[in-house]
């Protein structure tokens, strides 16, 4: 990975204060970049920025791997919003009320899109991308049909350029809404990224390995996914049972037909990675181990009844590396690791991950090494978006874990009176090329600030900062931490 010894903060834009009931690409996102500059933190890590479903609102469950989440659009910075007036709403500033936010922003953005001219040069340039055309066509038809694509009429079952032209004419209002909102998303995101890069800040993005069955990806490239003759999934993705989830996990996303992907020289994956690397400086691939082996669960059964299947292994990375700068990639390699996974990471110099919360011994059986002895070519985390906050971790840890932590912190070169900061310091003092924590942990927050609990459906992804001023008391401390550990390059 072409990164110097740096540090980063995880903060999904939805968690920023301000906006209309949800963080967005507006003023506070720029202020957060200024905060990173002031603290000498060099990397801003975000979760996937794609559209989410309107049930669980997970960034990892999307109808498109290319399009953006329109709820991140700053309504005060639109190309077309003159004279738009809708009823003001009062929003919760502590947590995102997704349905309320979605309904409000959709209404505002739909009104803003009414008078755009599709034939304007900027929109036509945007539509030159064939993947954008496919995904906008899907989005428009999906909104009209309100059922999964494999139940659509024959004329809409497969993408063609003729279907694209038909959708523009037949469903002009809906298509204009989708075109306008995606154009605005991309415009605002690239403005923000340009500001970050000019300020010396790199953005680490995230891409799920799987996509939803009812997605533009599957609809437009059906042969690349594991489907029956009716377009239905017979097996779905998930995770094998382990110590953390004894029943395993069902993700319910589409599995790949890796043989057909191989025959197509992995063009779909190359295009998807390139599109995301255009948006981010670095890219974390979620569930990286799925390229080597993956857990396939029969439809309508529990994860306990799943089976291991072999992924594409070396052939995939050989083809991808011909087209993609592998030095921009990071592997989320948590879970069951094969020897072949480590070989690929080493061959292409792709850093894996270590999460300190998972690396502090909880019993006398499983041994771990001190963070000071971790490898250099890794990204070291205190926790991830799926983890408890450090404060919650301390509340729930057993006596053995606490004794282990006390032993770990005895080796700290720079220690604090606050154990949450000692926890962060352990990761910062590791040799890792990049050390990362969450903004919740920088603020010493507890369980109420947890962002996601895997395997649950309620109240996830909704935590927010209440004001940017909350960060002021952390500036000197975080800056000192970065300077003490030479993470200011």
**Residues present in the chain in total:** 489
Q: Which of 67, 75, 47 is nearest to 143 (CA)?
A: 67
**Count of CB atoms within 10 A of residue 322's CB?**
10
Question: Tell me, what DSSP letter sits at residue 418?
Answer: S
Hey, what are 98's tokens? 């997704």
Q: Give the C-alpha separation, 399 to 19, whole Å.
A: 43
**Measured CA distances, 22 to 16, 71, 97, 250, 395 (Å):** 7, 8, 8, 28, 29
**For residues 28 and 46, what is the distance between their CA atoms, to the nearest angstrom?**
15
SS3 91: coil
- How far apart are alpha carbons 355 and 424 in whole angstroms? 11
- Torsion sign over Cα 406, 412, 416, 421: negative
Residues 6 or more apart whose CB falls under 8 angstroms from that of 323 comprise 270, 274
Q: What is the largest CA-CA distance in the chain?
A: 69
Show the DSSP H helices in 249-383 as ranges.
Answer: 258-263, 267-279, 314-320, 339-347
Contact 447, 389 (CB under 8 A): yes
Separation between Cα atoms, residue 201 and residue 32, nearest integer Å: 11
Structure-token pair, residue 394: 């301390």
Q: What token pair was written down for 238?
A: 């998930």
Instruction: Provide the 10 A C-beta neighbour count for residue 319.
Output: 19
Closest to 32 measured CA to CA, from 445, 473, 470, 468 = 468
d(CA 485, CA 211): 39
Measured distance CA(137)–CA(144) in Å, rounded: 11
Q: How far apart are CA 154 and CA 145, in angstroms?
A: 13
- Check 184, 332, 429, 441 and give the catalytic one: 332
386 annotated active-site: yes
Query: Rounded to whole angstroms, how far apart are CA atoms 224 and 217?
Result: 9
Residues 101, 201, 204, 219, CA torsion sign? positive
The catalytically annotated residue of 286, 340, 368, 470 is: 286
Is 93 annotated in the active site? Answer: no
> Which letter does DSSP use for residue 467 in this model?
-
Q: Which two tokens stand for residue 243?
A: 């110590």
For the packed helices 27-38 and 172-198, what is the interaxial angle rounded to 10 degrees? Answer: 20
User: Where in the sequence numbering do the catalytic residues fall?
Assistant: 286, 332, 386
């Amino acid at each position: 990975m072409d990164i110097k010894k740096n540090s980063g903060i995880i903060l999904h834009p939805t968690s920023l204060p301000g906006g209309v009931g949800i963080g967005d690409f507006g003023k506070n996102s720029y202020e957060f970049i200024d905060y990173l500059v002031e603290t000498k933190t060099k990397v801003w890590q975000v979760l996937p920025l794609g559209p989410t479903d309107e049930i669980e609102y997970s960034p990892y469950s999307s109808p498109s791997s290319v399009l953006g989440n329109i709820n991140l659009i700053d309504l005060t910075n639109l190309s077309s919003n003159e004279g738009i007036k809708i009823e003001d709403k009062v929003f919760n500033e502590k947590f995102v009320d997704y349905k309320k936010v979605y309904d409000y922003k959709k209404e505002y953005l739909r009104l803003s899109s009414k008078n755009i001219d599709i034939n304007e040069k900027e929109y036509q340039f945007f539509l030159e991308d064939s993947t954008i055309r496919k995904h906008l066509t899907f989005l428009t038809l999906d909104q009209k049909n309100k059922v999964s694509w494999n139940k659509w009429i024959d004329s809409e079952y497969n993408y063609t350029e003729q279907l694209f032209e038909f959708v523009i004419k037949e469903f002009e209002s809906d298509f204009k809404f989708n075109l306008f909102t995606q154009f605005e998303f991309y415009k605002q995101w690239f403005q923000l990224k340009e500001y970050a890069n000019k300020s010396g800040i790199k953005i680490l993005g995230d891409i799920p390995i799987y996509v939803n069955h009812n997605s533009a990806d599957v609809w437009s490239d059906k042969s690349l996914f594991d489907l029956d003759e009716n377009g239905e999934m017979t097996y779905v993705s998930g995770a094998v049972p382990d110590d953390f989830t004894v029943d395993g996990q069902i993700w319910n996303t589409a599995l790949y037909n890796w043989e057909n992907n191989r025959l197509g020289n992995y063009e779909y994956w190359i295009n998807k990675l390139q599109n995301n690397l255009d948006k981010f400086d670095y890219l974390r691939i979620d569930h990286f181990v799925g390229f080597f082996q993956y857990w396939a669960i029969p439809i309508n059964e529990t994860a306990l009844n799943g089976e291991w299947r072999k992924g594409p292994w070396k052939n995939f990375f050989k083809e991808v590396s011909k087209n993609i700068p592998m030095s921009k990639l990071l592997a989320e390699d948590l879970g069951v690791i094969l020897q072949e996974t480590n070989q690929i990471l080493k061959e292409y110099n792709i850093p894996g991950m270590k999460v300190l919360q998972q690396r502090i011994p909880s019993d006398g059986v499983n041994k771990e090494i001190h963070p000071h002895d971790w490898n250099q070519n890794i990204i070291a985390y205190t926790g991830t978006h799926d983890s408890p906050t450090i404060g919650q971790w301390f509340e729930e840890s057993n006596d053995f874990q606490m004794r282990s932590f006390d032993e770990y912190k005895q080796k700290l070169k720079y220690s604090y009176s606050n154990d949450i900061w000692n926890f962060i310091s352990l990761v910062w003092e590791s040799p890792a090329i990049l050390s990362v924590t969450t903004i919740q942990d920088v603020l010493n927050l507890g369980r109420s600030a947890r962002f996601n609990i895997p395997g649950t459906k309620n109240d996830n992804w909704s935590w927010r900062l209440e004001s940017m001023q909350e960060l002021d008391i952390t500036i000197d401390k975080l800056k000192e931490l970065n300077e003490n550990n030479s993470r200011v390059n």
